[in-house]
Amino acid sequence: MINVTTEQLFSTDLRLYRMLKEAKEEGNIVLKNFTLSGPDEQKLQEEDYGLFIGETSTKESKKANKTNIFDVNVVLTVSSKDTDYSKAKTQIDICTKEVIKLIMKNNDLSFTYKGFNQSQMVISSEYDCKFRKTILSFQESYDWEYEDDIDYTVLFGGVEINGEEE
């Protein structure tokens, strides 16, 4: 049986979201000004200042008997609707730096921050919105405890799948 929770299956983006939401609710001086969003980037274009997190890729980097280690990339998109480019860029850069600082300070995360791969500034005159997309890299480790069967009810909310037609 595989005991699976959302904390185990490629959930770096969800953990980051919860961490940032908690920091915002605690009154983080930078994050309190931004709308935190899940995987709907369109919402950022409708908000004054937005922060979007979503997983972009997961690739196995090491395999052991019952443990798999994965390299995970998460996109962090920060936006500003400020029409002054210099001001918007400063706001976006400060927010990006604050997120990275919070990640590096958080010891409770069950993954390892490895840095960022790339960062790209995008200017959209259609929405008067500026974006910075930064790909953050992490390493996750999963320990699988195997028995004879897989408990799919954990995965599918109570639906039992046993391989037989009913």
DSSP state, 89?
H
Kindly report the pTM of this predicted structure. Answer: 0.69
In a domain, 164, yes or no: no
In a domain, 134, yes or no: yes
Kindly report the CATH number assigned to the domain that includes residue 47. 3.30.2000.30
In a domain, 4, yes or no: no
Q: Which helix (H) or strand (E) covers residue 61, if one does?
A: strand 49-63
Say if CB 122 and CB 130 are below 8 A apart: yes
Task: Give the total number of structural domains in the chain.
Answer: 1
List the domain range (segments joined by +) for residue 16: 12-155
In a domain, 160, yes or no: no
- Segment 146-151 long-range contacts (CB within 8 Å, at least 24 positions apart): 146/1, 146/2, 146/66, 147/1, 147/2, 148/1, 149/1, 150/1, 150/2, 151/1, 151/2, 151/3, 151/4
In a domain, 162, yes or no: no
Q: Which helix (H) or strand (E) covers residue 124, if one does?
A: strand 111-124
Backbone dihedral angles phi then psi of residue 113, each to the nearest 5 degrees: -80, 130
In a domain, 28, yes or no: yes
pLDDT in tens, 28-54: 999 999 888 875 666 666 667 888 887
Say if CB 65 and CB 144 are below 8 A apart: no
Question: In the structure, what pLDDT confidence band is assigned to residue 2 with cuts at 50, 70 and 90?
Answer: very low
In a domain, 36, yes or no: yes
46-77 burial code (b ≥16 CB/10 A, e <16): ebebbbbbbbeebeeeeeeeeeeebebbbbbb
In a domain, 5, yes or no: no
Does residue 25 surpass a pLDDT of 70?
A: yes
SS3 of the chain: helix, strand, coil, percent, to 5: 30, 35, 35
Q: How far apart are CA 122 and CA 4, in angstroms?
A: 38
Q: What percent of the chain has pLDDT over 90?
A: 8
pLDDT in tens, 69-103: 777 888 888 888 887 888 888 888 899 889 888 88
